[in-house]
Amino acid sequence: MSFADRVREELCELPIKHPCCRHALMAGLLLCAFENEEKQIAVRYRQEVVATFASSMIRQQYGKVPDSRMSGRCGHRYYDLFFTSPACRKLLFRFLEPTADIEKILSFSCEGCRSAFLRGAFLACGTVSDPHKSFHLEFSLPQKGAVEMLARFLSTCGYEPRRIVRGDSVGIYYKGSAYVEELVTLMGAQHVIFEIINSRIEREIRNNENRATNCVAKNIEKSIAAATRQIEIINCLMEAGKFEGLPEGLRVTALVRYRNPDATLDELVALHEPPISKSGLTHRLRKLAEEAEGILGKGALE
């Protein structure tokens, strides 16, 4: 079972608190509905569990027992419901208005109505990706007007969607864990939301580990490059006959570095006798570079 199917199953099992919420939920479930040539309300679902749930809701909301048929195309199964209802027909016509506002059409009576409508919309035309792979939530509808109505509703709730066209359908979608977490929570799927949160945390931990690993690798590269440059400087001074004329402290540091090409600065400090500070070591290495620049020219060893 896919992650999206588990979300749908949980949404179908949630209780409905008030009649107004049931009306809003039913409206969401009918976003893909249309009136066919026989003057029936027809609506198609891709999942049997959603079709069964919608059939039960139609009986409760409109007092009708819908005719249920199963069909198939291109390896997919579809579950179609047919029924007649003047009240439902009137609702669908209002959905087609150019500036249809779902909150005005349904006259939401409580905060639960918004959650119920979004729940129904997701069951009818929504999907969500496995959070272990990506954070993507999408609604796809054949009617552009219904898509825009749903987009306006979501924007009013504070979730401005992006648009996408897939074949004959138009969709709106969200990317990112924050959007997916909040929308799934708003729909009421409290159990699966923990899986989304855990997936986000696991991904953040992996990203932090990768960043830390990359940082260590870059520091090692810098240390190797610096050590190589320092060895080149010392070789330059030796070949030019300038090494013996250096102050004793610089000669000691040069020999320690020359004999320990893989040592870090901290390790070089520990190898000095008498002891030297890290800042003192850095100062001596800089002075060696300046002596070499006098031979090769400034910037030659950068």
pLDDT digits (tens, 9 = 90+) for 122-135: 999 999 999 888 89
**Whole-model pTM over 0.75:** no
267 burial (CB, 10 Å; 0-12 / 13-18 / 19+) is exposed
Q: Is the pLDDT of residue 290 over 70?
A: yes
Q: What is the mean pLDDT of residues 43-58?
A: 93
Rounded (to 5) percent helix, strand, coil in the chain: 60, 15, 25
Q: What is the mean pLDDT of residues 28-57?
A: 92
pLDDT digits (tens, 9 = 90+) for 191-229: 887 888 887 788 778 777 778 777 877 877 888 888 888
Cα–Cα–Cα angle for 174, 178, 180, rounded to 5 degrees: 45
Q: Assign 300 a pLDDT band (cuts: 50, 70, 90).
A: very low
CATH architecture of 3-188: Roll (3.10)
Dihedral sign, Cα of residue 70, residue 73, residue 77, residue 81: negative
Number of Cα atoms under 13 Å in the Cβ half of residue 5: 6
Tokens of 300: 């030659």
Tokens of 239: 């070949």
